[in-house]
Structure 1
Amino acid sequence: MPMSRRAAVTTAPLLAAALALTACGSGTDTDGGSRADGKIAGDITFQTWNLRANFKDYFNGLVREFEKQNPDVKVKWLDQPAENYAEKLSADAGAGTLPDVVNVSPDLSYPLAKAGLLMNLDKEKATAKFKGEYTPEAWQGNTLPGLGGSYAFPWYLNTGPLFYNKALFRQAGLDPEKPPKSYEELFTAAGTMARRSGGKTATLAGTPSIEDFGRYGVRLMNDDATRFTYNEPKGVELLTKYKQLYEHGALDAQALTNTPEKSGQKFLEQKVAMNPGGAHDLETFKKNAPSLYKNLGITDAPNNTGKPNMYVMGLAVNNRSDHKAAAIAFAHFVTDRKNQEAFAHKVAIFPSTKDSLRDPYWTEDDGTDEGRVRVASAKLLKGAVNYTPVVMSDEMKVVLKNEVAKALQGKKSPQQALDAAAARSDKLLEQS
C-alpha cells in the first residue's frame, strides 16, 4: 500500500478536463441530500487507492457498520491499483464520474480542488465543525496553497525514522548515543567520519531532495505557490555544503545515481552510516547483517526547523456529489478516531485524530522490531509538516535532482544550478 507521497498528477490535462465539465454529475435530489447539511441518504461511491488486496475485510466491515447506522445510505466501495491512479482520477474528472468520497494525497487533491471539484472543508459548516477532532498538523497537511482551505478529511499519516550504524560512529570517534539532530551537526559528523576512515566510509548515500531543503529551513515557494524560491541564499548554502561533502567522500561515490534501493543496500553493507528506513528493514538487517542489527540506532532525520517531515493521506468529498450529506458523513466516519486507530493497528501507519498517538500502542516499546520503529516514528509526528510542495510534479523533482548533480560535479555553481532548476520548474508550473 502507498506509504509516502505518490506520483503527482500531471495537472494540465486534469485541469483541462475538469474545467470543461458542465453540470454533469451535479444534479439535485428531492430529499435534500445534495446539500452538505441535508438528509443523510442516497447511494454513494467510495474509492481507495490500492487497499483491497490486504484490507478487504476491514473496509467491507466499515461499509456494513456505516450502512447499519445510516439505513438510508448505500455505499459502493471501489479500489484502484497504485499504477496509473493519477490518470484514473483525470479520466473520472473529465467524464464527470469522480467518486463521492475519494482517497487522495495533497498533490492529487490540488488540481481537483483548483478546478472546483472538491469540497472546501473549512468553508462548509457541515464539515468545518469536525476540524477539532484531528491534529492541527494533519488538517494543515490537507490545506492547499492559494485555495483558502483544507480539501480532505485527514486520514492516515506516516513518517520514517533514520537508521544509523553505531559501530561506524564509534570507529570515527563519534558518540553513538548522540546522532546529529541539526544539519550543522550532520555535516560535522559526516566530515569527521570521512576523514578518520580515509574516505572509505560515507555518512549518506543520496543527494539532497526538496525535503532536505525544507528541513534545512529553505523557503521553497512564494506564499501563493506560483514560484519556486529554493534558489535563495539559504538553498545555495545547503547545496554548497553538500558539494563539500561530496568532494571529501562524506557522500557515497555513487550518490548522484543511487536509487532508494541502492542506498539501502549500501547501508546494509555498512558502507554508509545513515539511511532512512522502516520496520520491514529490521528483519532484513537481522537476517542478512546481524552485526549491523546489533549496532543499529534509530533517530529522526536532521532538521533546522524543529519540524520533522510527514506524509498525509486524506478522504476528499466530491463537490458535485448528488448526495453530499451522505458523502460527508461517510468520510468523517472512516476517519473518526475509532476507525483510524483500528486501521493503524493493522498496518504501519499512524492515525491523524487528536490524542490517538498518546495510546500506549504508539508510546511504549513492546520489545518487537515493529514496536521499536513504531514508537520511534510516532514521536516524530508531533509538529511534523509535509515539506514537499503540493504543486511540485515528478518532472520538477527530476529537474532539481539533475541540477543538483551538476553542482556536485562542479559543472555549475550551486547558485547557477538552483537558478536553472527553479526557472525550469516555474515554466512547468505555468504550463500546468
Structure 2
Amino acid sequence: MKKITFIYLIFCSILLISSCAKQKKSEIVLDFWQFWTDPKVKPTLIDIINDFEKENPDIKIKLTDLTWSEGHDKIVVAFASGTTPDVLELGSDWVPEFSSQDVLLDVTGEAEKIQNDFLMWEPATYQSRIYGFPWVLDTRVLFYNKDLMEKVGLDPEKPPLTWDELLSYCKKINHLKPQAYGFGANSAERHRLYKKFLPFFWGNGGEILSEDRKSSEVNSAAGKEALEFYKKLTEQGTIDNQRMLDESFKQGKIGFLISGGWLLNDIQKNLPDLKFGVCLIPKPEKGVFSSFAGGEFLVISNKCKNPDSAKKFIQYLIKKENSLKLCKAIGSAIPSAKGSELDPYYQNNKNLLVFQEQLRYSQTSPAVPQWVYIEEIIEKAVERVMYDKKTPSQALDEAKVEIDKILK
C-alpha cells in the first residue's frame, strides 16, 4: 500500500511539473522599449504596466529604457540587425522614418476603429496606411521669472506678446549678468535645438518644405528673418544644454526660457515659492503664435511574434484613464484621447491652461521619412549662426541645398 501511495505521489508531482511547464511555456513576453526614464514618471508607467499584467496574466512586459540622445541610433541598429523589440515608443518626428522602411506592423484596421477618439494620427500615416497609435501630446511655452522682470522695472503680470517685446525685455534683464541672463538658448543638443527655433520660424510664416514635399523652402525671406531674430535673442542671454538651462531658471538666473512640462512639474512640486509664469511664445508683429507640437507614439515591429498581444497592450496604455495617470506624472503632457483636456487636473491649473492654449497654435514637423536628417541640418544651420560662423542667409541657403539632396 505504501508503495502504491509513493508511486501515486510521484505521478501527481510529474503532472504538476508538466502543468507548470506548459503554463510557463504559454506565457507571452513582450519587449517594450520606452523613453520615460525620469524617476518622477517611470514609477507611474510601471504601475500601469503592472495593472495590465494583472488583467492579462498570460502576458508579461519586459521594459527597456532609452535616452533621447542615443535612442534613435539604437533603434536603427535594432531594426538593421533584426533584434527589434515587440513594442516601441517613438517620438512623433521619428514615426514617418520607420513607417516608410517596412519595419513596422500595419495597424490600419485596428486604428480606424478608434481613429475618431484620438488626436494626431498624421505622423503615423504613410501612403494612406497607419503604423502607430498616438499616446501623449505636448508642446513648449515661454517661462518667465517675475522677480527679474520686476527688478528691471517690468510689470511681472504682463509677459511679452511680440518679438519686439521679448527682445526688449531680455535686453533689460541681461544687463544684470552674470547674476542673471535675459534669455536661455539651447546649445547644439540633438533633437532639441530645432524645437526652440521653429516656433519663431513658423510664427513668421516660414515653411520647411514645399507643398509637394519635393524641395525645401527653409531659406525663404520669412525663415531668414526668423533666424536673424533668434540670433539676437541668443545674444541677450546664455547658451547651454536643456538640463542646465532649466536648473538656471529654477535658481532665478534666467529671465525667459522656452521649455516644457517637465520644468513646470518640477517647479510646482519642488519650488512652490518661485515667482514665475508661463505664456505663449511671442509672435512677430504681423505673424501668429506658434510652437512645436510633439507627441509620443506606440508602434509594433513587423517581426513581433505576438501582434495581437502587442495591440492589446498598446490599447491599454492609450486608454484615457491610463494615459491621464501618466500625463499627470509628466506634468503638462495631455493624452491623445479626446476630451482629456476637460479633466480637472488641467482645468484647475492656470499654467496648464496656457500649455493647452499653446498646443492649439502648435505645429508638428513635416511627416516625411527623411525628417530626422532634415532636423539635423536645420539644427546645424542655427548653431552656425549662434556661434557667428555663418549669417542667417548663408546658413539657410546652405541648409536648403542639403535638404533638397536628401529629398531626391
> Kindly tell me: are residues 188 and 57 of structure 1, through their superposed partners in 2, closer, same or farther at Cα, counting changes over 3 Å?
closer
Check conservation: 1:141, 1:385, Cα contact below 8 A: no
Identity %: 22
> Kindly tell me: are residues 140 and 180 of structure 1, through their superposed partners in 2, closer, same or farther at Cα, counting changes over 3 Å?
farther
Matched, 1:187 2:164: yes
- Distance in 1 (CA, whole Å) between partners of 2:378 and 2:36 is 27
Letter in 2 for 1:48: W
Which of 368, 380, 384 is 2:362 aligned to? 384
**For 1:392-427, what per-residue CA distance to the aligned partner results, in whole angstroms no more than 9, with x for missing partners?**
347435422332225xx3x54321121123333444
Matched, 1:302 2:282: yes
Which of 311, 332, 356 is 2:294 aligned to? 311
TM-score in terms of structure 2 length: 0.73
Check conservation: 1:220, 1:389, Cα contact below 8 A: no
Letter in 2 for 1:263: L
Structure 2 stretches lacking a partner, 5+ long: 1-25, 187-195
**Corresponding residue for 1:48?**
33
Q: CA deviation at 1:131?
A: 0.5
Which of 182, 205, 209 is 2:184 aligned to? 205
Check conservation: 1:42, 1:326, Cα contact below 8 A: no
**Corresponding residue for 1:274?**
256
> Kindly tell me: are residues 140 and 264 of structure 1, through their superposed partners in 2, closer, same or farther at Cα, counting changes over 3 Å?
same
Q: Between Structure 1 and Structure 2, whose CA radius of gyration is higher?
A: 2
Check conservation: 1:307, 1:383, Cα contact below 8 A: yes
Structure 1 segments of 4 or more deviating over 6 A?
A: none
**Corresponding residue for 2:318?**
335
Q: CA deviation at 1:233?
A: 0.9
> Matched residue of 1:273: which SS?
strand
- Distance in 2 (CA, whole Å) between partners of 1:232 and 1:222 is 11
**Corresponding residue for 1:58?**
48
Check conservation: 1:44, 1:76, Cα contact below 8 A: yes
Task: Between 390-399 and 353-362, report the one with greater CA deviation.
Answer: 390-399
Q: CA deviation at 1:78?
A: 2.5
Check conservation: 1:49, 1:103, Cα contact below 8 A: yes
Which of 230, 233, 239 is 2:221 aligned to? 233
Q: CA deviation at 1:363?
A: 0.8
CA RMSD of aligned residues (A): 3.6
Structure 1 stretches lacking a partner, 5+ long: 1-40, 69-73, 366-371
Which of 221, 225, 234 is 2:209 aligned to? 221
> Kindly tell me: are residues 244 and 416 of structure 1, through their superposed partners in 2, closer, same or farther at Cα, counting changes over 3 Å?
same
Check conservation: 1:205, 1:275, Cα contact below 8 A: yes
Letter in 2 for 1:153: F
> Kindly tell me: are residues 300 and 202 of structure 1, through their superposed partners in 2, closer, same or farther at Cα, counting changes over 3 Å?
same
> Matched residue of 1:204: which SS?
strand
> Kindly tell me: are residues 342 and 81 of structure 1, through their superposed partners in 2, closer, same or farther at Cα, counting changes over 3 Å?
closer
> Kindly tell me: are residues 93 and 224 of structure 1, through their superposed partners in 2, closer, same or farther at Cα, counting changes over 3 Å?
farther
Letter in 2 for 1:188: E
Letter in 1 for 2:52: L
**For 1:256-275, what per-residue CA distance to the aligned partner results, in whole angstroms no more than 9, with x for missing partners?**
xx222443455456554211
| Larger strand share, 1 or 2 | 2
